[in-house]
Amino acid sequence: MMPGMPEISALALTFAFLMGVAILAYVVLDGYDLGVGMLMPAADPEQQNRMVNSIGPFWDANETWLVLGVGILLVAFPASHGVILQALYLPVAAMLVGLMLRGVAFEFRMKAEGWHRELWNWLFWFGSFLAAFAQGVMLGRYLTGFQPGFGYWLFALMVGAALCGGYVLLGATWLIARTEGELQKKSLAWARWGLAWVAFGVALVSLATPLVNETVREKWFGMPQMPFLMLLPATSFAFGLWLWFLTGKKLIDQNREWRPFFGAVAIFVLAFLGLAYSIYPWVVIDRIGLWETAHPSSLRVVLWGALAVLPFIVAYNVLAYWIFRGKARENLYE
């Protein structure tokens, strides 16, 4: 082994872990507010205001995790960054358009009246949907190693639809905890609809990925690890049943309002762990390994920057959630 290789390996693993944490935090946190945005057309005007108020103080903080994850990919793994963003140029552009449109609509709807507000509400929905769908397409393309062909693109489109449903689940369970009355009742029904899409998405990825990738198939279905690995989907299924039971009620006890959200988060965390196991040690499956793309000089320098920035991001998020804890306030932005 070359001198310094153990150090580089440890640094590469550290940055891969940090990038994974940042991506998971973004998916969960920005996922629920994208989900709330996609649920806007199903609510009346008064409920729409309450929905926006429930996410308004947090969505800027949530998106900082996306910046951190992409920043780590760019600086720590520059070779893979170029390959990934070149292959995902169109869905990345669509995601950015969606996020920008959502931000503009959020600001303008507060001052608009009448049909103008309704227009900005629809644009807020469209921006949320476009960003979520684009992220799902990116995931689908990444899992198949950016292979060309109609079938691979169809798979990516279905993953995009499933991720939209997953974000709806996160958004609905967030509203269960943050609202009350008729909107909370609607959110219980929305959560079941989102859970069905999550079940579809998890099944789709779990079945299709091993079929199209021999590396993934060997990792999951080889012996002797297979019986132990099956605990992961079994646990996800158990959380899904528990969440289905929780959201089947017309009313939910005040002391249990956060349980559906934490159940949805648990499903996303388990799915993420499964994906991480399937991919490791590749950054681009079967093309670029973690050690090949790591840049030694960048890793050493940027580690100190990452360790300095991360506490501020965490503190920003914690402070926002602490200040605006409790039920969503009426007319927060009026």
Model confidence at 7, pLDDT cuts 50, 70, 90, reads: low
Q: How many CB atoms lie within 10 A of CB 207?
A: 9
The average confidence (pLDDT) of the chain is 83
Share of the chain above pLDDT 70, in %: 93
User: pLDDT tens digit string along 112-134?
Assistant: 677 777 888 889 899 999 999 99
pLDDT of residue 6: 56
Mean pLDDT of the region 203-221: 79
Distances 242 to 5, 99, 178, 263, 267 between C-alpha atoms, Å: 46, 33, 20, 8, 11
Whether 270 contacts 179, CB under 8 Å = no
Contact predicate 187/179, CB 8 Å: yes
Which of the residue ranges 60-69, 189-198, 307-316 has the most confident prediction, judged by mean pLDDT? Answer: 189-198
Cβ atoms of 61 and 32 closer than 8 Å: no
| pLDDT at residue 297, as a whole number | 66
Question: What pLDDT is stored for residue 172 in this prediction?
Answer: 94
pLDDT band at 2 (very low <50, low <70, confident <90, very high): very low
Give 135 or 73, the one with higher predicted confidence: 135
Q: How many CA atoms lie within 13 A of 266 on its CB side?
A: 18
Question: Is the pLDDT confidence value at 180 over 50?
Answer: yes
pTM (two decimals): 0.89
**Residue 31: exposure state from Cβ atoms within 10 A (0-12, 13-18, ≥19):** buried
Taking only the tens place, the pLDDT of each residue in 58-107 is 877 788 888 888 877 777 777 777 788 888 889 999 999 999 998 888 87
